[in-house]
């Protein structure tokens, strides 16, 4: 029994561990799976195999027509469900009853006509807009969604109390799609909107604006109308609609998207809004149709601060441009943005203007803009980005009377400065000047506002910054990235400079003293230059290490060697070169010292240890070995009986018998010596010749005695003769005692010649050197020779050995 229990317990433990591990694995793999994107996947229903940990599920733009409880009830952690652009016709909110975390539900652009109610308490964002509802789809359960921030609805009919169930909610955004809304004859509808920060109404994109509904709002801050199509006759419909809605003092922000109108109606709308308590008016995607003629505009007192019109299309071929410009130029507001339009000009205000901020990005303005304009005295910021400006000189002139102008952006134009235009005139108040993406060259530094602090000149054609830019004492930030600078500008003339951006130029070796000369540098960016990683760069790399790391931006990643090829791609941080190879003086000293040491060592070796003798011996030894290996053996072996014939003077016989012969014979070298091996009965000459011919080598023991011996000369003569006939080096000369050249009689020119030409082996007096000497001799015989042993000769050999 106890054993069984133990077993069960063990199994239980095992199962637990397995489950634990599986749990960990699932957790890890789900971490990446919790967001599922399956939009545009041609799905006809919600996939069944979704992970229960799914938090974000995007199923937009499919063909899903139904949602069932079983489809999503397992997705207990689902937070975001996107189902827009599908084919859902009926929605029962109770399918979400298990999705307690669901915060974001987007069902816009479906075909929902009916919903069944159930409170999904966690919802913050519910979008039911652009569906086929007849009346507003509001359940009384929605009143419980206290967290709801965004509510998107659509309807074709409106009733005053439709939104009553949610009237008490504090919503942030109500989107009301009225695309399907149509006006019934003589029937005025009304709708009470709960308080919300933003109310966004979307009308039918192609129908003329026609709404007969009294929309009353409690409190709204922002009103957005999309698809407002007006002409001269229905203009008053909008005015009436707006006057209902803009009653309270709360509406601050009014936006019109996709507005199509006549110029006359637009001016009417603006005129209507002018005295209303709106502060920000935005019109995005404005199309002006029919004609543009002069309209009177009364610039009454206004709370409007900013008018923004972005993207104007003018569907009028011939029109009065001045009628258009005047309405805007005389506006008594602070901020005006007219961008992305085909406007080529803007008038100078006729009276002192209230404009502080003007943004004319992406129009087609030319240099004539605001020339001689003295009324923009309050203007602080002027943006003329992406226009057709060409002359920097004229831009300078433009600012002449803008006495408050601080920030000027003329980036993305075709600006050039020609020195011949003369000295530039700038208003002194400019502190930020953006001239990036133009065609400016080095000359631009002769045409700058005197007090400029921030200067953006990136993406121009600057090759160098002139040394004498002494009138830029105030300059703090300079951006000259994406130019063609080859030198890093110093801070000599720019003593306030604290930010310098010079990446993407052609700077190859920044100077080592850069940070020293630029004491105020706070931020420095110079990456992506073609750095030349040579000795000169070491100083700079070192200096980078000395400044606080946050100063050098992009270090080390974007600072990479470009040259030499061996270092290409190496980060500057990792570029090291030995101090020795960079310092010429140090290099010279080192070379001289090395040479000296070698010379001294050689001298010591020569003088005290007889180095040259060793050297010579080793040389000969290697040569001999080499030669011995290259003699064709077969030819030799046919006639040879001896390894060596030894010729010497009788006076040296003591050495020969005491040293040479024992040493040779010890190595099994068979030697022919006249004392033992000469055949009696033959003449001496015959014997000599015989002996030499039958020997592989001839050894001559040279000494003054040798020189004096007549016989020796014969022997040498024959041996030498043999040497030339055989074409092999078979002479070994041993110099037993030095022979002064002059002691050799002139008739022995052969010996003389040999002594001078051929290398000989010197018999060392020093006993310790004898080993090497014998090794050298033996090397000459380092051949496997099969000697012929003719009977008689062997006999003779033995005979001659007998007497001893
Ligand atoms: C200058 O304008 C360019 C774009 O035109 C912008 O990216 C850049 O940040 C501006 N520079 C400054 C200093 O504002």
- For 561-612, the DSSP string reads EEESGGGTT-BGGG----HHHH-HHHHHHHHHHHHHHHHHHHHHHHHHH-HH
Residue 129 Cα, ligand 1 centroid: separation in angstroms? 39
- Tell me the CA–centroid distance for residue 252 and ligand 1, in Å: 30
Q: Which numbered atom of ligand 1 lies nearest the CA of 385?
A: 5
What is the distance in A from the centroid of ligand 1 to the CA of 456? Answer: 7
Residue 382 C-alpha to ligand 1 middle, in angstroms? 13
Is there a contact between 354 and 335 (Cβ–Cβ < 8 Å)? no
456 Cβ below 6 A of ligand 1: yes
Which ligand 1 atom lies nearest to the CA of residue 479?
Answer: 13
Return left, alpha or beta for 793; rule: phi > 0 is left, psi -120 to 50 is alpha, else beta.
alpha
Whether 677 shows a pLDDT value over 60: the answer reads yes
Is the peptide bond preceding residue 564 cis, with omega within 30 degrees of 0? yes
Q: Is the CB of 436 under 6 A from ligand 1?
A: yes
At 699 the pLDDT is 84
Please identify which residue in the block is written with the tokens 């020779």. 785
Q: Buried b vs exposed e over 343-357: b needs ≥16 C-beta within 10 Å?
A: bebbbbbeeebbbbb
18/474 Cα distance (integer angstroms)? 71
**Residue corresponding to tokens 């077993």:** 7
Kindly state if the Cβ of 412 falls inside 6 Å of ligand 1.
Answer: yes
**Cis amide leading into 422 (omega within 30):** no
Are 345 and 368 a contacting pair, CB within 8 Å? yes
Distance of CA 569 to the CA centre of its chain: 10
Please tell me the predicted confidence (pLDDT) of residue 628: 55
**pLDDT tier at 490, thresholds 50, 70, 90:** confident
Crossing angle of the two packed helices 770-779 and 611-629, in degrees rounded to 10: 20
pLDDT at 288: 95
User: Residue 434 Cα, ligand 1 centroid: separation in angstroms?
Assistant: 6
pLDDT confidence tier of residue 367, bands split at 50, 70 and 90: very high
630 or 413: which leads in pLDDT? 413
Q: What is the pLDDT at residue 630?
A: 60
* 174-188, 233-247, 406-420, 724-738: least confident range: 724-738
Give the model confidence (pLDDT) of 695-721 as tens digits: 878 888 888 887 777 777 767 766 666
pLDDT computed for residue 268 by the predictor:
94
User: 496 or 104: which carries more pLDDT confidence?
Assistant: 104
Structure token digits, residue 437:
């993406």
Q: Tell me, what's the pLDDT at 1?
A: 42
> Which pLDDT tens digit goes with each residue over 411-420?
999 999 988 8
Question: For residue 660, what is the DSSP state?
Answer: I
Q: At what angle do helices 611-629 and 584-609 cross, to 10 degrees?
A: 80
Cα distances from 57 to residues 33, 106, 401, 649, 730, in angstroms, run 10, 11, 58, 115, 99
97 CB-near residues (< 8 Å, 6+ apart): 69, 73, 118, 120
Site to probe by mutation for ligand 1, drawn from 386, 434, 501 as the one with most ligand atoms within 8 Å of Cβ, is 434
Q: What is the enclosing helix (H) or strand (E) of 41?
A: none
Atom of ligand 1 nearest to the CA of 432: 13
CA distances from 596 to 285, 581, 587, 590 (A): 87, 20, 14, 10
Distance (angstroms) between ligand 1 centre and the Cα of 652 equals 104
Question: Could you tell me which residues come within 8 angstroms of residue 237 by beta carbon, excluding any fewer than 6 positions away?
Answer: 209, 210, 211
- CB of 413 shorter than 6 A to ligand 1: no
pLDDT digits (tens, 9 = 90+) for 43-52: 999 998 888 8
Question: Has residue 354 got a pLDDT over 50?
Answer: yes
Say if residues 633 and 786 touch (Cβ distance below 8 Å). no
Cα distances (Å, whole numbers) of residue 501 to 334, 504, 540, 557: 33, 9, 16, 16
| Residue 467 contacts residue 492 (beta carbons within 8 Å) | yes
486 φ/ψ angles, rounded to the nearest 5 degrees = -105, -20
Alpha-helix residue ranges (DSSP H) falling in 476-525: 514-517
- Closest Cα to residue 389, out of 439, 336, 350? 439
What residues are paired with 697 via a beta bridge? 644
CB of 385 within 6 A of ligand 1: the answer is: yes
Query: What is Dmax (Cα atoms) for the chain?
Result: 165
Instruction: Report the distance separating Cα 703 and Cα 451, nearest Å.
Output: 102
Quick one: pLDDT at residue 625?
60
Q: Which of 33, 96, 98, 109 is nearest to 67 (CA)?
A: 96
Within 230-326, strands assigned E span 253-262, 280-289, 306-314
- The answer to whether residues 33 and 53 touch, using CB atoms and an 8 Å cutoff, is yes
Paired tokens of 527: 């990456």
pLDDT exceeds cutoff 90 at 632: no
Residue 486 confidence (pLDDT) above 90? yes
| 361 touches ligand 1 (CB under 6 Å) | no
Spatial separation of the C-alpha atoms in residues 535 and 556, rounded to whole Å: 19
Is the Cβ–Cβ distance between 371 and 346 less than 8 Å? no
Burial class of residue 656 (count of CB atoms within 10 Å of its CB; 0-12, 13-18, 19+): buried
Output DSSP code: residue 683.
Answer: -
Q: Tell the burial category of 159 from Cβ atoms under 10 Å away from its Cβ (0-12, 13-18, 19+).
A: middle
652 neighbors 736 (Cβ within 8 angstroms): yes
Sorting pLDDT into bands at 50, 70 and 90, what band is 32? low
Contact 107, 127 (CB under 8 A): yes
> For residues 223 and 250, is the Cβ–Cβ distance under 8 A?
no
pLDDT band at 161 (very low <50, low <70, confident <90, very high): confident
Mutational test site, ligand 1, from 409, 440, 452, max ligand atoms within 8 Å of CB = 409
> Is residue 476 within 6 Å of ligand 1 at its C-beta?
no
DSSP state for residue 230 in the 8-state scheme: -
* Ligand 1 pocket, residue 582 CB under 6 Å: no
- The one-character DSSP state at 12 is H
Ligand 1, atom 1: nearest CA belongs to which residue?
Answer: 434
Can you tell me the distance from the alpha carbon of 106 to that of 29, in angstroms, rounded to the nearest whole number?
27
What is the spatial distance between Cα 715 and Cα 690, in angstroms, rounded to a whole number? Answer: 11
Distances (CA, A) of 79 to 32, 157, 298: 15, 32, 52
Which region among 207-221, 348-362, 420-434 has the lowest average model confidence (pLDDT)?
Answer: 207-221
Number of CB atoms found within 10 A of residue 332's CB: 15
């Amino acid at each position: 029994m106890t054993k069984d229990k133990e077993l069960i317990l063990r199994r239980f433990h095992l199962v637990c561990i397995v489950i634990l591990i599986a749990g960990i694995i699932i957790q890890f793999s789900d971490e990446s799976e919790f967001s599922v994107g399956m939009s545009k996947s041609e799905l006809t229903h919600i996939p069944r195999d979704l992970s229960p940990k799914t938090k974000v599920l995007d199923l937009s733009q499919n063909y899903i027509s139904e949602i069932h409880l079983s489809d999503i009830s397992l997705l207990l952690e689902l937070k975001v469900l996107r189902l827009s652009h599908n084919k859902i016709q009926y929605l029962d909110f109770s399918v979400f009853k298990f999705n307690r975390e669901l915060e974001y539900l987007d069902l816009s652009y479906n075909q929902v006509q009916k919903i069944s109610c159930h409170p999904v308490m966690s919802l913050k964002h519910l979008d039911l807009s652009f569906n086929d509802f007849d009346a507003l789809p509001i359940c009384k359960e929605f009143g419980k969604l206290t967290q709801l921030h965004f509510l998107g609805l659509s309807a074709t009919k409106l009733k005053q109390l439709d939104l009553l169930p949610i009237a008490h909610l504090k919503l942030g955004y109500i989107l009301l799609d009225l695309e399907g809304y149509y006006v019934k004859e003589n029937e005025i509808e009304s709708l009470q909107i709960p308080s919300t920060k933003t109310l966004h109404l979307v009308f039918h994109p192609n129908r003329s604006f026609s709404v007969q509904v009294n929309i009353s709002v409690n409190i709204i801050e922002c009103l957005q109308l999309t698809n407002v199509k007006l002409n001269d006759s229905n203009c008053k419909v909008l005015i009436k609609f707006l006057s209902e809605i803009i009653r309270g003092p709360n509406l601050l922000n009014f936006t019109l998207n996709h507005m199509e109108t006549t110029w006359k109606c637009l001016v009417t709308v603006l005129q209507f809004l002018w005295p209303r308590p709106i502060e920000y008016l935005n019109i995005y995607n404005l199309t002006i149709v029919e004609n543009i003629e002069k309209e009177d505009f009364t610039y009454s007192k206004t709370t409007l601060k900013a008018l923004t019109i972005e993207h104007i299309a003018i569907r009028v071929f011939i029109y009065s441009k001045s009628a258009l410009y005047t309405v805007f130029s005389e506006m008594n507001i602070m901020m005006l943005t007219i961008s992305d339009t085909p406007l080529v000009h803007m008038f100078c205000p006729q009276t002192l203007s209230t404009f502080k901020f003007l943004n004319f990005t992406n129009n087609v303005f030319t240099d004539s803009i605001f020339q001689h304009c003295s009324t923009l005295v309050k203007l602080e910021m002027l943006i003329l980005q992406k226009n057709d400006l060409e002359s920097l000189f004229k831009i300078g002139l433009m600012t002449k009377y803008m006495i408050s102008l601080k920030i000027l952006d003329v980036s993305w134009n075709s600006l050039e400065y020609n020195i011949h235009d003369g000295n530039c005139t700038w208003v002194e108040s400019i502190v930020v000047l953006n001239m990036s993406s133009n065609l400016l060259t080095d000359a631009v530094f002769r045409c700058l506002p005197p007090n400029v602090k921030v200067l953006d000149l990136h993406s121009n054609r600057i090759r160098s910054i002139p040394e004498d830019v002494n009138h830029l004492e105030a300059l703090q930030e300079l951006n000259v990235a994406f130019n063609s600078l080859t030198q890093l500008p110093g801070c000599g003339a720019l003593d306030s400079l604290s930010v310098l951006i010079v990446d993407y130029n052609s700077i190859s070796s920044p100077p080592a003293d850069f940070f020293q000369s630029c004491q105020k540098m706070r931020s420095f960016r110079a990456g992506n230059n073609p750095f030349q990683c040579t000795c000169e760069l070491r100083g700079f790399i070192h200096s980078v290490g000395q400044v606080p790391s946050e100063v050098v931006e992009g270090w080390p990643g974007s600072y990479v060697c470009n040259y030499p090829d061996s270092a290409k791609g190496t980060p500057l941080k990792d570029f090291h070169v030995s101090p020795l190879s960079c310092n010429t003086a140090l290099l010279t000293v080192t070379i001289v010292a090395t040479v000296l040491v070698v010379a001294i060592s050689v001298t010591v070796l020569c003088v005290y240890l007889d180095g040259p003798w060793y050297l010579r011996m080793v040389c000969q030894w290697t040569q001999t070995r080499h030669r011995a290996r290259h003699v064709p053996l077969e030819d030799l072996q046919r006639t040879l009986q001896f390894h060596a014939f030894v010729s010497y003077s009788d006076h040296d016989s003591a050495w020969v018998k005491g040293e040479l012969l024992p040493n040779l014979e010890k190595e099994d070298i068979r030697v022919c010596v006249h004392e033992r091996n000469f055949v009696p009965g033959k003449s001496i000459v015959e014997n000599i010749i015989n002996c030499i011919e039958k020997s592989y080598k001839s050894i001559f023991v040279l000494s003054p005695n040798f020189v004096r011996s007549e016989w020796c000369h014969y022997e040498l003569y024959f041996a030498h003769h043999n040497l030339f006939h055989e074409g092999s080096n078979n002479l070994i000369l041993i110099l037993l005692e030095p022979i002064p050249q002059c002691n050799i009689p002139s008739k022995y020119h052969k010996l003389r010649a040999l002594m001078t030409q051929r290398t000989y082996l010197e018999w060392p007096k020093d006993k310790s050197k004898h080993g090497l000497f014998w090794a050298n001799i033996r090397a000459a015989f380092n051949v496997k020779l099969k000697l012929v042993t003719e009977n008689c000769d062997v006999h003779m050999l033995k005979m001659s050995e007998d007497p001893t």
